[in-house]
Amino acid sequence: MAVYTEVSDEELEAFVAEYDIGTVIGCKGIAEGVENSNYLLQTSNGSFILTLYEKRVDPDDLPFFIGLMEHLASQGLACPTPLHGRDGKTLRELCGRPAAIITFLQGLWPRRVTARHCAALGRAMAELHLKGQSFPHSRPNSLGLGNWRPLFELEARRADEVKPGLAEQLRGELDWLEAHWPADLPTGIIHADLFPDNVFFMGDRVSGLIDFYFACTDFLAYDIAICLNAWCFEPDGAFNVTKARLMLCNYQQVRPLTADEFRSLPTLARGAAMRFLLTRLYDWLNTPPGAFVKRKDPMEYERKLRFHAEIGGPGAYGLEIGPVSAGDC
């Protein structure tokens, strides 16, 4: 989450008046994240999240995102639910941007990720994948394999400003990934951005998954690969195999992985590291001065990419191919 667009008091009050949620008491910008402008909205009826969808989000995709959240919530997944206005609409316009109000979820995202967090995440992610199977719509991954090279070429001439030789390194990695990317793995709805700040906990229990604005149809195991990168590396860059094993094991308690999915995890994790390296590189070089958003270091994901490229196989993630039991977790 982030804030790029400022909303005046008058505009906010007129917008909220379209809903049956009371009157505005307060509204505070949320600085975390990089995609949309988000506010914690307090009204006389409670707390909500107000989101203004910025330029990176295609307005044509918004009905998919909104519909997916409504579907998953109806299936019992703890996730935000978009509010309908008095006219029945969930999407309208505010400050020249598409905008929506969604429910506020209780809980906190983990500033310090533990192995227990990773175990609970594994189960929650598998439940998301299963509950998403009945969603009747699909959306191609707009930041999938085919999009990485065009994104790289946008910043290829400036990449070496971040690290000498980075452009050549990334070009070689893209060549490898395009030649080795798996095919015919199980597909379905994935979140595609399950970073710790998008997962709320109450104690060790997941209380909600948020920010579905990268959700798409792709390999289910690619979601796992994203989470291996986002949850299983320590602040000093070391890979925590215990966190990875517990995430994978608990995922498989809900949705067992196929042998092909398991064997593909190193390649998928290498690709996931490339995807976030490239988008962070773009933001690092292009975030406008004064934006109420914290840039994220692309080199964190360069180091993760090298880790996945150098391991000998999926066993490096702490679990071997085959069925798992509760005792393994």
pLDDT at 289: 65
The span from the CA of 175 to the CA of 310, in Å, is 16
The span from the CA of 33 to the CA of 276, in Å, is 13
Same domain for 98 and 121, yes or no, is no
Q: Which domain holds residue 244?
A: 115-328
pLDDT at 183: 94
Average of per-residue pLDDT across 296-314: 95
Same domain for 226 and 123, yes or no, is yes
17-32 burial, b for 16+ CB within 10 Å, e for fewer?
Answer: eebebeebeebebbee
Q: Is the pLDDT of residue 283 over 60?
A: yes
Is 5 or 15 the better-scoring residue by pLDDT? 15
Q: Write the pLDDT tens digit of every residue in 90-106.
A: 999 999 999 999 999 99
pLDDT at 17: 96
Q: Is the pLDDT of residue 204 over 80?
A: yes
Q: What is the pTM of this model?
A: 0.91
Average of per-residue pLDDT across 26-44: 84
Q: What is the CATH number of the domain that holds 34?
A: 3.30.200.20
The answer to whether position 94 is within a domain reads yes
pLDDT at 325: 74
Same domain for 99 and 151, yes or no, is no
Same domain for 57 and 124, yes or no, is no
pLDDT above 70 coverage of the chain, percent: 95
The answer to whether position 271 is within a domain reads yes
Same domain for 21 and 133, yes or no, is no
Domain end residue (candidates: 71, 103, 135)? 103
Q: Write the pLDDT tens digit of every residue in 109-139.
A: 999 999 999 999 999 999 999 999 999 999 9
The answer to whether position 110 is within a domain reads no
The answer to whether position 109 is within a domain reads no
Q: Is the pLDDT of residue 35 over 90?
A: no
Where residue 34 falls among pLDDT bands split at 50, 70, 90?
A: low
Domain end residue (candidates: 103, 127, 161)? 103
Q: Is the pLDDT of residue 33 over 90?
A: no
The answer to whether position 164 is within a domain reads yes
pLDDT at 22: 96
Number of domains in the chain: 2
Same domain for 23 and 158, yes or no, is no
pLDDT at 290: 61
Where residue 293 falls among pLDDT bands split at 50, 70, 90?
A: low
The answer to whether position 3 is within a domain reads no
Average of per-residue pLDDT across 157-183: 96
The answer to whether position 4 is within a domain reads no
Do 277 and 170 meet the contact criterion of CB atoms below 8 Å apart? yes
Q: Is the pLDDT of residue 31 over 60?
A: yes
Where residue 2 falls among pLDDT bands split at 50, 70, 90?
A: low
Q: Write the pLDDT tens digit of every residue in 240-278.
A: 999 999 999 999 999 999 999 999 999 999 999 999 999
Same domain for 71 and 140, yes or no, is no
Q: Is the pLDDT of residue 32 over 70?
A: no
Domain end residue (candidates: 83, 103, 123)? 103
Same domain for 155 and 196, yes or no, is yes
pLDDT at 13: 95
Q: Is the pLDDT of residue 71 over 60?
A: yes
Do 25 and 16 meet the contact criterion of CB atoms below 8 Å apart? no
Same domain for 275 and 138, yes or no, is yes
pLDDT at 323: 78
Mean pLDDT of all residues belonging to the chain: 93
What own/partner pairs with CB < 8 Å and gap ≥ 24 does 256-261 have?
A: 256/323, 256/324, 257/221, 257/224, 258/185, 258/186, 259/321, 260/182, 260/184, 260/185, 261/185, 261/186, 261/219, 261/220, 261/221
Same domain for 61 and 157, yes or no, is no
Same domain for 172 and 140, yes or no, is yes
The answer to whether position 1 is within a domain reads no
Q: What is the CATH number of the domain that holds 294?
A: 3.90.1200.10
Same domain for 75 and 160, yes or no, is no
